[in-house]
Structure 1
């Protein structure tokens, strides 16, 4: 191999087909990251040359956010749109709850004029996301609903740490019976925030009372109904941790209906820090998610994928911040 290894040499060394080596050398798509790395390792060990550099992928960016674009989702989508414009990329928006019924992901790789995609809180099963990744189509997930493989690019907030900081804040105020108005059981954010809540309780020498934890959809109605259920009990909690600010505002309405004062009789905390958090009376203590930055980071990751750059940190978690306002106070003795 005086003049370097042949394609056949590399294929034999890596244990793959000659066609696979050819695709890697020409930097073509439809090669899994693991196989590509295996071939590259064989090339390095045999002293050969790496693949030819591919030109960046052109085309618009498909942004899928199958939810109503208010509050949480509106902030993320606006940030993505503004950042794509700075990069000179056109945007194709697929939004609204009706979009949840459309089988979009299986068609993305074959859509003309589309170079890549950003998917916000995808309702699709993980199998569809893995199939799209296997096709070689570049995409990034913002706030994944369920656990995704490491080689799929994703950006989210530090749900565990954020939830832990809120519950720790309440235990430091002397609260020992803390109700948890959790999100849907099948959401990654729900399980992470629940784990953060449990961790902070453990630090204060307590266990989670299952009777104080109620899962549900992250809506004002759920917050009202779940809080009313917990607050109507004889041994009611002295504080409530809500999945998001909407749930927290519903809990505030339930407390007012039951004649409980916030924070004198009941402390309430939320998550997200959308505009609603400052519009409640009293203003809501909450965990701030960097929603706009999540959108910007997602665009940055996608641009690197479109330019065929290697990504080492594919799962990016952004720090949250506890914002203490008037809705939390010392527990009543």
Structure 2
């Protein structure tokens, strides 16, 4: 059978020669039903027309998480690696606190690395914008700072989760609520603080600055120190909300040292719903983040970018869920 030409395919489908050429050259600006129409015509004409070129960028995926891979970060990185493996992508892992010492962003795009997943990157937004301007595909998981709308990012609904948590405490009669916040320069800290304030504002209460503490690193020890400080106030809070479950565990220790019962004297709640939250006595009321799904969705977004598809929803927030357990109760 004679070789089918682009003109033959155009005549067969009723499409323009330019449209058929875009399909056969693997360009992205073609509707999916049009692409299928052309490929079926090619098959009917004897499959002698040129095959569409692959649009997928080949190469490995750089996964950067400059933190210890325990609990929260470990779950994200594991889900990212597992999802990439399903798609046959090799992973180049850069993890651990030592990875904070030097940014790898300027070097991304060289060698056989096709794209990247960046977990809570410590670099300023300007560096991420420069990486975007180089047309290098990447997705940010849990961004530290506010990002432009055209930088792909996946996060949890921090504001909504924090608002639900404090609304739960408000329903129990709490009005004097201490906040053990995370690092001041983390976007999640700001979003959660705004959620706490919104729930209090719903009942006409303004947050008290004396009840707010921020830590440089959200660890159990820092949660203990921050909670101890707040619980020493002359008019102590009736409830404490911590940036994460680790800090909430520290707050439980601080309450026990002062002879306070939980939740009888003070209610304590965390955030993340790690396994740790179910290993305490009492078990922690917390906000469940879809941590594994964040990693999987980041890979889905990245693969679409690597396939050179246009992605409309570049900023994706996944819903959180309030999990009520024994560490919260009615205010005295």
TM range (shorter): 0.7 to 0.9
**Rg (Cα) greater in structure:** 2
Q: Which residue of 2 aligns with 1:88?
A: 88
Number of residue pairs aligned between Structure 1 and Structure 2 = 284
- Contact 2:286-2:323 at 8 Å conserved across structures: yes
1:204/1:53 Cα in 2 relative to 1: closer, same or farther (>3 Å)?
A: farther
Q: Which residue of 2 aligns with 1:316?
A: 316
Alignment of 1:123-134 (within 5 A): 123-134=122-133
Partner Cα separation in structure 1 for residue 193 and residue 53 of structure 2: 45
Alignment of 1:219-234 (within 5 A): 219-234=219-234
Q: Deviations over 1:63-97 (max 9, x none)?
A: 00010000000000110011111111111100000
1:53/1:159 Cα in 2 relative to 1: closer, same or farther (>3 Å)?
A: farther
Q: Which residue of 2 aligns with 1:196?
A: 195
Partner Cα separation in structure 1 for residue 165 and residue 330 of structure 2: 14
1:88/1:54 Cα in 2 relative to 1: closer, same or farther (>3 Å)?
A: closer
Match of 1:272, SS state, is: coil
Q: Which residue of 1 aligns with 2:243?
A: 243
- Contact 1:27-1:54 at 8 Å conserved across structures: no
Partner Cα separation in structure 2 for residue 222 and residue 303 of structure 1: 38
Match of 2:271, SS state, is: strand
- Contact 1:54-1:308 at 8 Å conserved across structures: no
Q: Deviations over 1:136-195 (max 9, x none)?
A: 000000000000110000000000000000000000000010000011111100000000
- Contact 1:155-1:298 at 8 Å conserved across structures: yes
Partner Cα separation in structure 1 for residue 293 and residue 181 of structure 2: 25
Match of 1:198, SS state, is: helix
Shift of 1:232: 1.1
TM-score by length of 2: 0.84
Structure 1's consecutive aligned runs of 4 or more residues displaced over 3 angstroms after TM superposition are 25-28
Partner Cα separation in structure 1 for residue 231 and residue 294 of structure 2: 35
Q: Which residue of 1 aligns with 2:32?
A: none
Q: Which residue of 2 aligns with 1:60?
A: 60
Q: Which residue of 2 aligns with 1:77?
A: 77
Partner Cα separation in structure 2 for residue 295 and residue 203 of structure 1: 34
Shift of 1:103: 2.2
Shift of 1:27: 7.1
Q: Which residue of 1 aligns with 2:208?
A: 209
- Contact 2:26-2:55 at 8 Å conserved across structures: no
Partner Cα separation in structure 2 for residue 180 and residue 331 of structure 1: 16
Runs of 5+ consecutive residues of structure 1 not aligned to the other structure: 1-24, 29-51
Partner Cα separation in structure 2 for residue 69 and residue 103 of structure 1: 18
Partner Cα separation in structure 1 for residue 53 and residue 193 of structure 2: 45
TM-score by length of 1: 0.83
RMSD: 1.5
